[in-house]
Structure 1
Amino acid sequence: MTALPLRSEILSGAVGRPRSAASSPIQLAGQRQQTLALGRQRLMTGLLLFCIAIGVLVLRLADLSLLQGRPTVGANRSTGAIPVRGDIYDRNNVELARTFEAYGIAVAPRKLVGNPRVLAEQIAAILPDKTVDGIYKELTARNSFRYISRRVLPEQAKRINDLGEPAITLEREPERLYPNLNLAAHVIGYAVDGVGKVGVEKAFDHRLSDPSTRGTPMHLSIDARVQQALESEMGAVLADQRAQGAAGIVLDVQTGEVLALASLPDFNPNAPGKSDPATRYNKVSYGVYELGSTFKTLTIAMALDTGVVTSMNQKYDATNPIRIAGFTIHDDHALRRPETIPEIFIHSSNIGTAKMAAELGRDRQRAYLDKLGFLKQAEIELPERASPHFPPLSNWGELATMTIGFGHGLSVSLVHLASAYAAVVNGGVLRPATLLKVEPGHAPAGTRVFSPGTSDTMRALLRLVVTDGTGRKADAPGYRVGGKTGTAEKLSGGRYSKHANVSTFAAAFPMDHPRYVVVTMIDDPQGSKATYGFRTAGMVIAPAVSRIVQRIGPILGVTPDVNKDVDVAALLSEIHDKAAE
């Protein structure tokens, strides 16, 4: 009997086919599913690779957009961004130093594809400070890695990247920018590879680089406007006198804040290596000089404070030169008679001052100089500070006491002198000079050196020097300038040179209520048509002080008033000869 076909076979169409072929449709269906699964897997893999490619493209476009965008100096940082090195500002938020992202252009010479000579010419056209030969040398070096240039701006980096040479790479690197170029270079200093080398950059290197503090900008006491005025006027004198150098400092007499500090010639901190090393020498804090008759102010203040001088009509005999220990002390503008205190001061008598110093004595003189900080490095944050030069106690006899009294035999910096003059005119209190901004009401208490009465008398005497003495050319109408000239012969080979001097003027204004000290110095002036060939402080540097005061007075809120002045009538009554300039 014949077997009937199964229902499943009828439905599947398997009737009439051999039973061995019944599994074939099942195998075909499985293969079809495997093919579809494989297709889906390949599709997903393709989509994933596509997304990765898109991501890479987006990142590349972002990178190019950064290359195309030039950083704007002074622009605000994005919220929450912390610079790799802290920014530096002046007291009025003028940017003095900041870090921006530049690029280093590097090459792997062994992997170079293009023609090195052609490539060198193309890169030189983009980097004007580089030569074709110099770039070619880097491209063909035997090393595996060479820098073509550092500190490259973003737009320059983009143009080099567009050349398409695969062996050339762009490396981001933080760079320090000093947007005002040479302005206040000796104050700010500079940093190399994120490390401060000189100036404020070195003095506050930890604060500027520490992650916990670098996000807060540092505000200096410097006023960029005052700094520019000081540098401009001192630069003009330097050029006119064909001098070796010039220096100046402006100091707040109540707080010790340095508003300006200039040392010329100067340098560009953006490229310090391209300047003469001599230009990096800070003549204000690191240079020490015998500052001549500017010291007479201090000697008279000491004599008043100790009671050695009790009256303005007290006289010292300046009839004849002093001969002591084989040396002769004489006056440049000799009156050859006894002189009162105002006459000694406005005529700048070495003889009268020497006798006053001798009466004061070595021990009291040295004690006052010690209180004024003249026997140690100046108190200021700069690392570039020199120690003063003075005789050892064993050699500090009567001759040294006399010569130091009128500014010879003791060498100090302009910072020393400015701080001392501030103490003389501010009521007698010495405060350390500082380059950091002092908030109102936070000035240091300071150390009393002179009595308020001594300070009052000295203010009148200093004003008298400008109205009737050797400093007349420093007068600035309405600003009541007071000061003292100082012309000292330079030491050369252990001997004083009659053909080279240091001309200094130490001033303060307004003398009825002193606010600022201005100390300026010219190293080895040559004389000029403007000074009628003279090289003395009264002719060379005093006129510059007048111009400086008139420029910075309005900036600092000092209003000129020709109806105000210091009463010097009593002092004038003790003067019987007009002083030379």
Structure 2
Amino acid sequence: MNTLVVRPTRVRTAGVRQQILLTAQQRLMILMLLFMAAFFLVSVRLVYFALFDTGSRNGSASAAFIPARADIVDRNGVPLARTIDGYAIRVVPEKLLNNRQYLADELHKIFPDMPRAELLAKVSGSRPTYIRRRALPDQVAAVNAIGDVGFDFPREKERLYPQLSLAAHVLGFTDAAGHGVTGVEGAFDNRLIDKATRGDPLALSIDARVQGVLESELGSAVANLEAIGGAGIILDVHTGEVMAMTSLPTFNPNKLSGSDPATRRNAMTHNLYELGSTFKPLTVAAAIDAGTVTSMARRYDATQPLAIAGFRIRDSHPSNRWLNVPETLIHSSNITTARISDELGREKMEAMFRSLEFDGRPQIDIKERAFPLWPRDWGRLTTMTTGYGHGIAVTPLHLASAYAALVNGGIYRPATVTKLGDQAPPKGRRVFKAATSARMRQLLRLIVSDGTGKKAEAPGFRVGGKTGSAEKPGAGGYRRSSVVATFAAAFPMDNPRYVVLVMIDEPKGNAFSSGQRTAGWTAAPVVSKVVTRAGPMLGVFPDESRDVDVSELTPLLWRNGEEE
């Protein structure tokens, strides 16, 4: 017989239940306090790292947040180059399972820009090799869909240029190992990869908006004029900062493979040209400085070509009369400029060119800089021809920096592609007298208002500048059919802030330019469009109530229905 023992029901009094609830409440409170304390400690630690632990930047804990290579940005922070994690497509031939001919066919469908024979060689080789170092996501997916284990897709650091070809020659590019080759990438390679500095973007002087304007207008002109290329720059006359610089034809640094290496050459800093009549204001300024030209009213004989050493110096549009200094520049007379150069003499002419660094590579902080073609035998004829830009070849940047000194009060400063920010600009050195610079501002303004530069006029911006149309040298002499058309300008001329230089290489005289190849018809209109569009971006707004006072010079101009 089994005996069932039943446990009596436990009776809890109201006091016991209240004690249990109180204990549970205390435990919850303790847990909440512990959680809040832990949260507080973590928050304090994070705030400490953010505000005070500056040394941790170089530590392993924060290394993951530092890019492998510093970003490059424009002066307003717009990204121009940055490093990202990208995909590559690689083949390991020994692991391939499919027929090599089949694989080559499938790969050629995905990469039609690569010859099938090249792809077949890659999949038939004995060593691992890359199909594409920079692969698009859809290309990776397509190769993966082939379904062969012999393909792999390593993640690699990739340099990306989000603005595509914008400022390509300024930025340059990197090699497969991630080291800079040309442009800013090459010149500042150490700064861009240094652990101490690569966390901070490198800010350029370039303004991406202004750069876009310059590239757009110059590109349209080069295409419409059927030219072989061109170059342009916008330069701050007081700091030397390059606000925009371009060279055409250009390239996309994201897609170097298959592109023409010739397009990577920076014509602004690395190509040499005889820049013709744009040198004439420099010659006149040197003559004023030296006291050779003491009066704007003095006239020089331009009634016939000037014979010297078996050579005849001619004007492209002869005036057949005596010209004073303003008329010499307005009508771009080779004859009278040669006479002024001859009076100035070799020593002072050569000294002027050397002071402007025309005897060395252009002053700028990138590596692609050409050494000028300096005259071997500097005789009397050379002194006369260099005065109007023949017999000496320099880069367009040489000329832009010279014009900055010509209009800014006479101070030469080197150009730079890095943003100065709060830094003071280089002190520079005097190359022209301040009074001479003031006079040249008047004369350059007259060239646009009354002379060969009329098509550079941008209402309200007070543009001044000089045309230059130089025949290119070739075998046996100069080639009349090949012209380098240049317009070197500054604005606003009553208080110059920027130099704008546009050079077009071998423009065709077609319907777009009314059959003309000279700079007044080809390069000058580009300057007008660039100034009109980019001026407000640079803080210069049109004001037609202001202008340069040229009242003492206008009475010297011959008004007889003649127009250049």
Distance in 2 (alpha carbons) for counterparts of 1:356 and 1:540 = 28
Shift of 1:220: 0.8
Q: 1:284 aligns with which of 246, 264, 268?
A: 268
Q: Does 2:228 correspond to 1:235?
A: no
Give CA deviations for 1:520-568 in whole Å, capped at 9, x if unaligned.
Answer: 1111111111222111111111111100100100111111011111111
Query: What corresponds to 1:36 in structure 2?
Result: none
Q: 2:320 aligns with which of 336, 340, 354?
A: 336
Query: Is 2:405 the counterpart of 1:423?
Result: yes
Aligned partner of 1:546 among 504, 516, 528: 528
* Aligned residue in 2 for 1:24: none
Misfit runs of 4+, over 6 Å:
none
The secondary structure found in structure 1 opposite 2:511 is coil
2:191 is the alignment partner of 1:202: no
* Matched ranges for 1:206-285 at <5 A: 206-285=190-269
Q: How does 1:122-521 map to 2 (within 5 A)?
A: 129=113, 135-139=119-123, 141-154=124-137, 156-157=139-140, 160-161=143-144, 164-193=147-176, 194-392=178-376, 395-440=377-422, 442-521=424-503
Shift of 1:580: 3.9
TM-score (norm 2): 0.85
Shift of the 580–263 alpha-carbon distance from structure 1 to 2, 3 Å rule, reads: farther
2:93 and 2:128 in contact (8 A); partners too: yes
Change (3 A) 1:548 1:579: farther
Give the whole-Å Cα distance in 1 for the aligned partners of 2:439 and 2:161. Answer: 44
8 Å contact from structure 1 (residues 97, 177) kept in 2 = yes
What is aligned with 2:31?
Answer: none
Larger Rg: 1
- Tell me the amino acid that sits aligned with residue 397 of structure 1: G
- Partner SS state of residue 553, structure 2: helix
Matched residues in 2 for 1:84 and 1:580: separation?
Answer: 61
Among 537, 540, 546, the alignment partner of 1:558 is 540
Count of residues in Structure 1 that have an aligned counterpart in Structure 2:
501
C-alpha displacement of 1:104: 2.1
Per-residue deviation at 1:147? 2.3
**Once the two structures are aligned, what percentage of the paired residues are identical?**
53
- SS of the aligned residue for 2:425 comes to coil
Q: 2:406, 2:477 → 1: CA distance?
A: 32
Provide the rounded CA distance (Å) in 2 between the counterparts of 1:400 and 1:231: 36
- Residue 187 of structure 1: CA displacement? 0.8
RMSD, aligned CA: 1.9
String of CA shifts for 1:42-82, please: whole Å, max 9, x gaps. Answer: xxxxxxxxxxxxxxxxxxxxxxxxxxxxxxxxxxxx99611
The 2-side partners of 1:532 and 1:132 are apart by 48
> Are the equivalent residues in 1 in contact too, given 2:225–2:512 (CA < 8 A)?
no
1-structure distance, mates of 2:281, 2:72: 37
CA distance, structure 2, for counterparts of residue 219 and residue 382 of structure 1: 15
Does 2:95 correspond to 1:105?
Answer: no
Partner Cα distance (1:154, 1:526) in 2:
43
1:476 touches 1:550 (CA, 8 Å); kept in 2? yes
Following TM superposition, by how much is the alpha carbon of 1:119 offset from its aligned partner in structure 2, in angstroms?
5.0
Deviation at 1:132, TM superposition (A): 6.4
Contact 1:108 1:144 survives alignment (8 Å):
yes
Q: Which segments of 5 or more consecutive residues in structure 2 lack a partner in the other structure?
A: 1-61
Describe the superposition over 1:249-284 as per-residue Cα deviations: whole angstroms up to 9, x where unpaired.
110001000111111111111122321122112111
In structure 1, the residue corresponding to 2:164 is in which secondary structure? coil
Q: Is the 8 A contact 1:476 1:546 kept in 2?
A: yes
Pairwise CA distance, 1:210:
2.1
- Aligned counterparts, 1:528-539, within 5 A: 528-539=510-521
Task: Report the CA distance between 1:246 and its aligned residue.
Answer: 0.9
Q: Aligned equivalents of 2:155 and 2:93: distance in 1?
A: 20
Change (3 A) 1:325 1:169: same
* Residue-by-residue CA offset, 1:352-411 (whole Å, 9 max, x unaligned): 11111111111011111111111111001121111111213xx21111100011111111
1:126 CA displacement: 5.5
CA distance in 1 between counterparts of 2:470 and 2:108 reads 52
1:169 deviation in Å?
2.0
Q: Specify the SS of the correspondent of 1:273.
A: coil
Deviation at residue 323 of structure 1 after TM alignment: 0.5
Aligned equivalents of 1:125 and 1:244: distance in 2? Answer: 35
Shift of 1:161: 4.4
SS of match in other structure, 2:205? coil
